[in-house]
Amino acid sequence: MMVRTAWMVSFLALAIASDPAFSQTIPVIPIPADVAPAAGRYRVTAATGVAVDPADAGAARAADLLIAQVRTDRGLTLNRKDGGGIRIVRDDTVTGEEAYRLTISRSGVTIAASGDRGMIWGAMTLAQLLSPDAKAGQPVSLAAVTISDAPRFSWRGLMMDVSRHFQPVETLYPIVDAMMAQKLNTLHLHLSDDQGWRVEIKRYPDLTRIGGFRTPPSAGEPPREKVGGFYTQDELKKLVAYAAERGIVIVPEIDLPGHAQAAVAAYPQEIGVLGDRPQVGNEWGVNPWLFAPNERSMTFIKNVLDELVEIFPSPIIHVGGDEAVKDQWKRSPAVQAQMKALGLTTENQLQGWMIAELGKHLASKGRRLIGWDEILEGDVPTSASVMSWRGDKGAVEAANKGHDVVLSPAPNLYFDNLQSDRSDEPPGRLGIQTLEQVYGYDPQPPGIDPAKLKHVLGAQANAWSEYLVTPEQKQHAIFPRLSALAELTWSPKEKRDWRGFVARLEPQMVRYRREGVGAADSAFAVNFRPAGGRGDALRQGMVTLGMDNQTKRGVIRYTLDGKQPTARSPVFKAPIEVKAGAVVTAAPFAADGRAMAAPRQYAATRAAWLSAGPSDLSACPQGALGLRVPLAGMQTANTPAFNVNIFDTCTQWLKAPLGEARGFAIDVARLPRHYGLAHEASALREHYAVTRFGELVVTAGGCKGRVVGTYPLPDPASAPNRFRFTGTLSGEAGDADLCFQFTSPLSHPFYAVEGVTLEDAR
């Protein structure tokens, strides 16, 4: 009877596992292409050995990577051993260089692949199966299964912008490790821009000596010491080799003909258009300096590319091509004469000629060229690949013309976009891209001819670093959205499932912590949803408070006294009534009692309801808050940060509880105005100043309401960059919009409201 019962249990388990949804329960990201469960289990302990053919270097490398990954993620120390229970074998019947087959049976585990990468990816799947929970150091009982897997796309990438803010080379190694663990295979390094040249070119040492360092932007204070850095060729070669051992190719980018200010600052006579020497840039956006298209400049660029291909064995080299405003070319008689000699009628055609010439040079070195989607405007040959960043349009056009394409669109895959509207997010773009939004993106957009879909190489995310200064900030922006990217580029589209992904992300978040990766918990963190406005709460002496999180995972538990919640704290089930004076602290908890995100707080106090910070403010009419910026250009902390409209220094506190106040205090911050706006500068709104440095004008009832205070701004050259204004309120009733308009000249620094505190009328 006992044998029959065990057989029935096993049969039922297999029947359940045969459901297509079963694969979603396997703790693996990205979800494999095919999962076939079988009967039995195999137990892996520290005594389990990993066996390989000693003559197979690829298998040996995969074994070493598996052992290291399991040691980190599970705390189990496996060892290479002849006849071990885990075998990694080369099998030519597994088709595809990145494909693998993982078989778990009662007798052991076998990873089979025909290519070195396939062996690594199979090893990484096993490493995840061996770390399905937070029980570090304990053996793992693996369910019998056969996983047959191969990637949907060949380009599964991440772009690191190391130009805007230099990132020391040692901080890139953990990025490579995390990419490998989830089968991403392309690391794109943005090595040059207006704000810094980051790769040593021995023929042109001033590219790094001068172009590698810049003066930080000023908000009126005296200039500070230069900041920056660069990578030596030896450092990059070591990084390239390290990545290659992990199945990852590093694609270098030298951006041209635009975003050239750092290079022109180093060699104005050799590559500049009009001969002037600018400073290395410290403004974000678009600046006018271009590489000249003449013979001397083209020779310079080709010499740079020659050194680049010696460092990077990548078959593809990125040459930028984006945001090159052509004003310098239009105003140069020499460039106009060159266009006429070439039979070209537009500057975009000249850029196309330039890109095509560089493509020919790279082809002579056995390499291919890729550029941002603007290169299409110059009718480049189809041998050039296109990286589409201005939405999907460029990819659709390029693929239909026969170009290979990589999807990297803004805002979908721009990881410098914030992950939530929470006030604790670090600086970045305010075009919020949640984890779910990233996961929902598909790299085969409509409009591509089905016969041309073969030209879609894949997709990558971009971590632009104008506002990501520290490695920690960059990790916060990248992870765990990198997990979503891994799945949307590897897994079959029909296998992807948001709910299943989030469930599988829970153990991945544990792995991130064990790997020392600072993954953001924004998708799991508790959001507070108060019903009604602050004025309602003040008048009623209480608030009805809802709570949720983006993923809808975990049990939300809370306290009302400001203490940290535990797995035994009350469970949030429905909106609760919170009396004035309470401080609600809440966090989501997993089934094992582990907190899934750091606790967040909501202060249900009169003082909190009578105050507002930058994240509580809204744009003024006809404006939009587009950026969350730091106080200083090289600020290494996440706060203070300000949600701003760089085109109009005006914000509002909507429905401020003015009827409950008798006065106000406004904390003001002066920020660098360091934005290269090019032709968008005409959108700047200048307000008439009636004092020397402009004023802060405060109006109640909206931006056209009654003026309740006008405060002349101090001299930026001598005043601190944070100060306070105070005023009184009288005759205000109920709630009204409070508007803050700065009138400082556009040639002066930028101002923002750091906080508003209303003085309690009680």
Neighbours of 4 (CB within 10 A): 8
How crowded is the C-beta side of 399, counted as CA atoms within 13 Å? Answer: 26
Query: Widest CA span of the chain, in angstroms?
Result: 96
Burial class from Cβ neighbours inside 10 Å (0-12, 13-18, 19+) for residue 2 reads: exposed
Q: Is residue 58 a contact partner of residue 100, using CB atoms and an 8 Å limit?
A: no
Our answer to whether residue 424 is catalytic in this structure is: no
What secondary structure, in 3-state letters, does 408-430 show? CCCCCCECCECCCCCCCCCCEEC
Q: How close are the terminal C-alpha atoms of the chain, in Å?
A: 78
State how far the Cα of 69 lies from the Cα of 396, in Å rounded to an integer: 39
Secondary structure (DSSP) of 74-92: T----EE-TT-SEEEEE-T
Options 73, 116, 177, 193, the catalytic residue: 193
**Token duo for residue 620:** 């003024």
- Spell out the residues 6+ positions from residue 390 whose beta carbon is closer than 8 angstroms to its own: 373, 374, 409, 410
Handedness of CA 450, 456, 457, 460 (dihedral sign): negative
Using omega within 30 degrees of 0 as the cis cutoff, is the peptide bond preceding 599 cis? no
State how far the Cα of 670 lies from the Cα of 302, in Å rounded to an integer: 43
Q: Which of 737, 752, 741 is nearest to 697 (CA)?
A: 741
- Spell out the residues 6+ positions from residue 1 whose beta carbon is closer than 8 angstroms to its own: none
**Which residue's structure tokens are 């199979």?**
122
Q: Is residue 301 a contact partner of residue 292, using CB atoms and an 8 Å limit?
A: no
Residue 521: C-alpha distances to residues 95, 479, 549, 600 (Å): 38, 9, 10, 11
State how far the Cα of 740 lies from the Cα of 514, in Å rounded to an integer: 46
Our answer to whether residue 323 is catalytic in this structure is: yes
Options 165, 190, 259, 674, the catalytic residue: 259
Our answer to whether residue 318 is catalytic in this structure is: no
State how far the Cα of 526 lies from the Cα of 533, in Å rounded to an integer: 19
Handedness of CA 272, 365, 318, 447 (dihedral sign): positive
User: Looking at residue 496, what DSSP letter applies?
Assistant: -
Which residue type, as a one-letter code, is found at position 736? A
Options 149, 255, 323, 416, the catalytic residue: 323
**Which residue's structure tokens are 């032709």?**
679
Catalytic residues: 193, 259, 323
